[in-house]
Amino acid sequence: MADGKTPKKASSLADLLRQSLIAKLLAASDESRNAGGEVDGEKLREKQLAVLKDGEEKTKSILGIFAQLGSDVSAVRKFAAVGPHKLRELLVSDEAQPFDAISDLSARFGPLPKGYCYRYLAPESRLVSKATANRADNVIRLPTLLNRLVDKRLGMPGDEIPDRSLGEWLADQPAEVSRLWALRVLVLLGILKRADLPDLPVTEPENSSVPGISGPGSHTAALIAEFRKNALLHYEGEEKEDVASAWNGVAGKRSVVAQLQERSATSALVPLLDDSEISVRVSAATYLLPITSDKALDVIYGAAAVAADRLTLKHMDAARIHAWQTIWMHDDGNLGNRPALRA
């Protein structure tokens, strides 16, 4: 080197690639020996060239992956440094200009920055036509890694979601609902400024009477214990990005609630509003909200307003996200008595 210093030690990945290449070249030498132990020069050259060509192709592929990953990470870092963005900063255009294919956007509105991708706010679906989806004011530019984070969030189930996951429910919603929830998820993930959410009329909860029960009984008590166990399973699964566990937890809670409803004993969940685990409190409040609004709303709004310095505590961030989704579903009139999740 120009400064006379020893070059930095190669990365472990480079060492592994080098060792693999050497091992294959040595193997090629062994494989090129005839029955007498002599090396067949022509055969050896053919095998060595094949090994080197394969190594070159794999190296190029790996370098390409690392280059792309570097661009993706750099894009997220620069995006996050600004904090939540305004919607107009994310949109391809403020105007509803139609386009035929997503590939047309770069030519018309400028190329995507490195590490970015396009994302529909309301993608084409059974209820959203291609013409409605393919408008410049329905597409945002987003760092690719954040785009994957949004997909993960949409893939999660929840007590407040009328279908297996938010994304699956939205697939059967009209364009305005799909777009609204896309913006809401962007807000929950700190990507979009909350002030850019459209104003909606809030439905005031009705303080309807809570159905009484003749007594908890051993069966009801067992159901409440089962509900609590599944609430913990749901939030543990979400925290570990284990969608199957999260789904099983939500399905288990809904099964318990269905049995309680059959016994007119849904209010047996009320004591869980004071549970030590926030995952249990928010879960119970979500199902109690339609019948006992005041206490349930206190729990939901408390979880939604949790301080930023507490979000690293167990289940706090998941509780915050589900609380906000519950508030929005409630305000939209989509909470109520939800149908069973699809099997």
CA distance 325 to 77: 27
Per-residue tokens: 221: 């008590």
Q: Which helix (H) or strand (E) holds 126?
A: none
Q: 139 near 118, Cβ under 8 Å? A: yes
Tell me which residue of 166, 172, 169 sits closest to 189, measured CA to CA. 166
- What pTM did the predictor assign? 0.73
pLDDT at position 20, please? 72
pLDDT value at residue 35: 58
In angstroms, the CA 162 to CA 254 distance is: 11
Q: What is the pLDDT of residue 309?
A: 86
CB neighbour list of residue 30: distance below 8 Å, 6 or more residues apart: none
Give the residue from 94, 134, 131 showing the smallest Cα distance to 118.
Answer: 134
251-305 pLDDT per residue, tens: 999 999 999 999 889 999 999 999 999 999 999 999 999 887 688 999 999 999 9
| Per-residue confidence (pLDDT) for residue 27, from 0 to 100 | 75
**Cα(195)–Cα(209) distance, rounded to whole angstroms?**
35
**Angle at the Cα of 253 (from 234 to 307), degrees rounded to 5?**
50
Per-residue pLDDT of the chain (343 residues; tens, 9 = 90+): 444 444 444 456 566 666 776 777 677 666 666 655 665 667 767 776 777 777 667 666 666 666 666 777 888 899 999 989 999 999 999 999 999 999 999 999 999 999 999 999 999 999 999 999 999 999 999 999 999 999 999 999 999 998 889 999 999 999 999 999 999 999 999 999 999 988 654 444 344 333 433 344 568 999 999 999 999 999 999 999 999 999 999 999 999 999 999 988 999 999 999 999 999 999 999 999 988 768 899 999 999 999 888 988 999 999 999 999 999 999 898 886 554 444 3
Task: Write down the pLDDT at residue 292.
Answer: 74
